[in-house]
Homo-oligomer: A and B are copies of this chain.
Amino acid sequence: MSIGDLSINLATVRPQYTMAQAVDACLAQGITAIAPWRDQVQTTGLKEAASIVRTNNMRVTGLCRGGMFPATDKAGLAAAIDDNKRAIDEAAAIQADCLVLVVGGLPKGSKNLPAAREMVADGLAAILPYARENRMPLAIEPLHPMYAADRACINTLEQALDVCDLLGDGVGVAIDMYHVWWDPKLYAQIARAGASGRIFAHHICDWLVPTRDLLLDRGMMGDGIIDLRAIRVAMEKAGYRGPQEVEIFSSENWWKRPGEEVLATCAERFLATCHLQEKSAKGE
């Protein structure tokens, strides 16, 4: 059934489960795809993580995350580049579809966003040959503008795609609804991303009104105001038919509930709110 198009980013059940437990809990719900974070993989051990994926025949829709390039000096940027190469190795080891990149914000003490953006471009250019050698697609995730200072200075899909165009093959975008729903150019840029074959991932959750915390108050699909179905229609028109990956940081709600309830709700809401029936997907 269509639940096969659902992936769970393991941040969604971070407090509840280890990676191994999360895989078991997903399979119990019929969910066969995950996206772990590097710290979760490292805690498990890379070999063991790869074995869990392989043994259970899980699809890995992405490894979170590389990036974080801007630094106060050249040594810092060089260290970030090295760390990203290790992330590429790890993503390859667990057979991830892509390495998700949160590119980083302002270096400590800096107010110079244009300079941070140049460092990101330099960092990406430095790791791309290694990613190509290892056949690991790099997925730049544009982050919501409220994270421009401290997490990622790539803040629109248009900006991410402009960077991709400069870099060439092997790099694309992870389009996370939470970060892009507000963008007046969203539909045009989704079409552009699809036309150039650059949509590597589709992340879902919802934007709550009110939002009580800038980082940890993401909503379950259907509880907020994002028109998830309309955007999915646009994604499929643009040629992307891949999984939708649920990524919810929710310190006061979902992280406090039993993991089983969270996963069951993800599955139910995915089918009710995000997934396109074959007919409607073709009809649009």
Contact = CB atoms under 8 A, between A and B. Distances in A.
A195 interface: no
Nearest to A182: B148
A233 to B, nearest CB: 13
A94 B181 CA distance: 39
A43 interface: no
Given A145-B182, A155-B182, A184-B117, A214 B210 contact: yes
A249 B146 CA distance: 17
A217 to B, nearest CB: 9
A209 interface: yes
User: How many of these chains are in the complex?
Assistant: 2
Given A113-B227, A225-B111, A146 B184 contact: no
Main secondary structure of the interface of A (DSSP, over half): loop
B145 A159 contact: no
B159 A184 contact: yes
A268 interface: no
B182 A150 contact: no
Contacts of A111: 225-227, 230
A270 interface: no
Contacts of A159: 184
Interface in A179-201: 181-184
A50 interface: no
A233 B144 CA distance: 26
A149 interface: yes
A106 interface: yes
Contacts of A110: 225
23 contacts: A106-B225, A110-B225, A111-B225, A111-B226, A111-B227, A112-B227, A113-B181, A117-B184, A144-B145, A144-B146, A145-B146, A145-B182, A146-B146, A148-B181, A148-B182, A149-B207, A150-B209, A155-B182, A155-B183, A156-B184, A159-B184, A210-B214, A211-B214
